[in-house]
Structure 1
Amino acid sequence: MKLFDKISYFILTKSIGLYINLMGFLFPEKATKLAYRFFTEPRDGKLDATKIPKILSEAHPETVAFGQHQIQTYTWKGNDHRILLVHGWESNAARWERFIGWLKKSGSTIIALDGPAQGLSSGTEFNIPEYARFVDAIMQKFSPTSIIGHSMGGATCIYYQYTYQNPLLEKMVILGAPSEFMIVLNNYKKTLSLNKKVSRLLEKRIMERFNIDPNEFSGKRFVSGLNLKGLIAHDEDDTIVSYNEGKQIAEAWKTAEFISTKGLGHSLHDDQLYQRIYHFLFEAD
C-alpha cells in the first residue's frame, strides 16, 4: 500500500470510528448496528456476472438455493474424488486459479463456492457461522472428501467440521487461517479506535448473533477434537494473520502436519507449496 493510500485509509477508518463512537452516546443501538455492519460486510470480492474470470468460465456453474440465499458454485468435472475449495474474506472462487491447475492433475472433481456476499453469491454479511452453513449446503449436495480453505475460509472449514462433524471428510488443508476470533475483533476495534462502550455493545451483538462467546470462538479449541488428517500452512511473513496463530492451530491438532513457509505472505501462492499439498491429498497414503 502506497503512502498516500495508507494515509487515506487511516483518515477514513478513524473518521468512521469517531462517528460510531459519538453515535454510541446518543443512539447506542444504531451505533452497534453500524459497527457490526462494517465488521461483517465485505467491501471487495463481488463479481460482475458479465465479466467472469477465465478460470471460472471454464467450470460448470451452478447456483444452489439455500433458504433465502443463492450460493454460486463452480465445478471442474473429473472422477469420483471430490475436493471443495473455500476462499477467504473479500475474495471469491477465482482466488484458486493457480492451484486448480495442480488439482486437475489428479483427475479429481473440483468444486469451489463464492462465500456469503462475495463473488456471485447473495447476502450482505460475511461471518464464519453463516459461511459454515453455506459450506454445509454444498457438502450435502456434492459430498467431497477433501476440503481446502484459505484465511477466513480456513477458519470456516475448522468451525464447520467442529460444528457439523461430517463423517465423509477425510482430509483438510488450512492456509493462513486465523485461530482466535478475539484477535480479529480486537484488530477491528483498534483500527477504528472504538471506545469501550461501543466495543462492549458490539461484542454483545456478536454473542447474540452467533450464540457463542467471542472469547470461546477459537480455532485451536475447535481442532483439538478433530481426528481427520490435516495440513496447515502459514507464512512467517504473513502481515494479515499472525504466524503464531497457524502454529497454535497445528499444536492443538494432533493429526495434522504443519508447513512453515517464508516470503509468500498471506496469499501463499507458490508451486512448491502446491506440490506438497498435492502430495498430502493424493500420495500420502
Structure 2
Amino acid sequence: MSLKKSIRFIVVKSVGQYINLLHFIDPKKALHLSYTLFTNPRVGRISNKDLPSVLQDTDKETFQHNEHQFQTYTWKGNDTKILLVHGWESNSARWGKLLPYLQQSGSTIIAIDAPAHGQSSGVNFNVPLYTEFINKAVEKYQPTIIIGHSIGGAACIYHQYLHPETSIQKMVILGAPSDLKTLLDNYIRMLSLNPKMFTPLEKHYLKNFSIKLDNFSGATLAKQIKIEGIIAHDINDTIVAFEEGKKIAANWKNGRFITTNNLGHSMHDDTLYKDIYDFLFEAKK
C-alpha cells in the first residue's frame, strides 16, 4: 500500500472511530456528522476563473430550480442532442475523453453539473435532487440520448423511471450502482461504523423522499425501462462492484451489457467508446 493510501486509510478509520464514540455520547451529533460525510462531496467543485480547458469553449447556462442553481455546458452541433451526467465528486470536465467520439457524429452535446459539484450550487448531494436537475435539462434541451457515469448513471435510470415519456430514445450507463442500500452499506463498512448507525442514517437520508431504500434499486427500476441502452461495468471496479451492473442489466429488457477489464471505475477506454458510438449512431446510417 502506498504512503498516500496508507494515510487515507488511517484518516478514514479514525473518523469512523470518532463517530462510533460520538454515537454513545450524542447520537444526534453522530448521525449529523455521518450524514454530512455521506452527502457532502469533498472534491469536484470548479470556479469559472479556473474552468478546465475542455469546458472553456462552450455555451454556458445557469438554471434556477427552486432554491438551487445548476450549470450546463453546451458544445453546439446538429439537431441530435446528447445529455451527459457525471458521477460523485466529479464534474462535467470528466467527459473530456469521450467527447471527441461523440463529436464525430456532429451532435450537440450538453453536460450538466450535479448538485454541490462543478459550478452548481449547494453542499449536499442526493439522487432525487440530481434527477430533478436532469429533468429540467431534458425539458429545456430535448436530448434523444443520455449518458451517465457512476451515481449519475443511477440518477439517469431513476429519471427514466419517473419520466418515461420524454425525448430520450437511448441511454448509456457506465459503472453505475444499482442499490443505494449497497452504497450506504459500503460507506458504513469503509468507516467501520457501528451497524446500529444504518437504520437512523437511512431514515435521515430519506426523510424528505417518499421511497424506501430497499425500493431505490436500479435493478428494480430498470424493469420499467423500455428504451434501448448500454450498461457497461468493469470487472475490477473497486468503487462500485461489478455485480451492481449485472443486476441492472439482468432487468433491463432492451439493455446490452458490456463487460470491461482493468478500466477501473473511470471506464475511459477507446474500444468501449467506439462500441458506444456504434450503438448510438451506426444504426442510423
TM-score interval w.r.t. the shorter chain?
Answer: over 0.9
Q: Structure 1 CA distance, aligned partners of 2:164 and 2:21?
A: 44
Partner of 1:111: 110
Q: Structure 1 CA distance, aligned partners of 2:198 and 2:64?
A: 35
Partner of 1:36: 35
Q: What secondary structure, in the 3-state scheme, does the structure 1 residue paired with 2:97 have?
A: helix
Residues 132 and 159 of structure 1 are in contact (CA less than 8 Å); yes or no, is this contact kept in structure 2?
Answer: yes
Gaps of at least 5 residues in structure 1 are none
Q: Please list the CA deviations of residues 65-84 of structure 1 after superposition, one character each: whole Å capped at 9, or x if unmatched.
A: 11111111000011111100
Q: Structure 2 CA distance, aligned partners of 1:247 and 1:240?
A: 15
Question: What code does the residue aligned with 1:162 have?
Answer: Y
Partner of 1:238: 237
Matched, 1:140 2:143: no
Q: Structure 1 CA distance, aligned partners of 2:270 and 2:192?
A: 39
Q: What secondary structure, in the 3-state scheme, does the structure 1 residue paired with 2:89 have?
A: coil
Q: Please list the CA deviations of residues 43-91 of structure 1 after superposition, one character each: whole Å capped at 9, or x if unmatched.
A: 0111122111111001111111111111110000111111000000000
Superposition deviation, residue 138 in structure 1: 0.8
Partner of 1:15: 14
Partner of 2:46: 47
Matched, 1:205 2:230: no
The more displaced of 253-262 and 157-166 is 157-166
Question: What code does the residue aligned with 2:100 have?
Answer: G
Superposition deviation, residue 128 in structure 1: 1.0
Question: What code does the residue aligned with 1:135 have?
Answer: I
1:1-285 alignment to 2 at 5 Å?
Answer: 3-285=2-284
Cα 1:243–1:196, aligned 2, differ >3 Å: closer, same or farther? closer
Superposition deviation, residue 34 in structure 1: 1.1
Residues 24 and 197 of structure 1 are in contact (CA less than 8 Å); yes or no, is this contact kept in structure 2?
Answer: no
Q: Structure 2 CA distance, aligned partners of 1:83 and 1:218?
A: 25
Q: What secondary structure, in the 3-state scheme, does the structure 1 residue paired with 2:206 have?
A: helix
Residues 155 and 177 of structure 1 are in contact (CA less than 8 Å); yes or no, is this contact kept in structure 2?
Answer: yes
Residues 28 and 198 of structure 1 are in contact (CA less than 8 Å); yes or no, is this contact kept in structure 2?
Answer: no
Q: Structure 2 CA distance, aligned partners of 1:61 and 1:216?
A: 36
Q: What secondary structure, in the 3-state scheme, does the structure 1 residue paired with 2:198 have?
A: helix
Question: What code does the residue aligned with 1:4 have?
Answer: L
Superposition deviation, residue 172 in structure 1: 0.3
Q: What secondary structure, in the 3-state scheme, does the structure 1 residue paired with 2:82 have?
A: strand
The more displaced of 142-151 and 62-71 is 62-71
Superposition deviation, residue 275 in structure 1: 1.0
Superposition deviation, residue 247 in structure 1: 1.3
Q: Structure 1 CA distance, aligned partners of 2:106 and 2:2?
A: 46
Q: Structure 1 CA distance, aligned partners of 2:257 and 2:139?
A: 29
Cα 1:53–1:20, aligned 2, differ >3 Å: closer, same or farther? same
Q: Please list the CA deviations of residues 159-206 of structure 1 after superposition, one character each: whole Å capped at 9, or x if unmatched.
A: 111122243210000001111111111110011121133222111212
Cα 1:238–1:125, aligned 2, differ >3 Å: closer, same or farther? same
Q: Structure 2 CA distance, aligned partners of 1:86 and 1:125?
A: 17
Q: Please list the CA deviations of residues 227-285 of structure 1 after superposition, one character each: whole Å capped at 9, or x if unmatched.
A: 00111111112111111211111111011111111121111111111111111111235
The more displaced of 159-168 and 134-143 is 159-168
Superposition deviation, residue 216 in structure 1: 1.6
What is the number of equivalent residue pairs in this alignment? 284
Superposition deviation, residue 100 in structure 1: 0.9
Residues 188 and 195 of structure 2 are in contact (CA less than 8 Å); yes or no, is this contact kept in structure 1?
Answer: no
Q: Structure 2 CA distance, aligned partners of 1:234 and 1:169?
A: 22
TM-score calculated relative to the size of structure 2: 0.96
Q: Name the Cα RMSD after superposition.
A: 1.3
Question: What code does the residue aligned with 2:206 have?
Answer: M
Gaps of at least 5 residues in structure 2 are none
Residues 138 and 167 of structure 2 are in contact (CA less than 8 Å); yes or no, is this contact kept in structure 1?
Answer: no
Q: What secondary structure, in the 3-state scheme, does the structure 1 residue paired with 2:256 have?
A: strand
The more displaced of 23-32 and 233-242 is 23-32
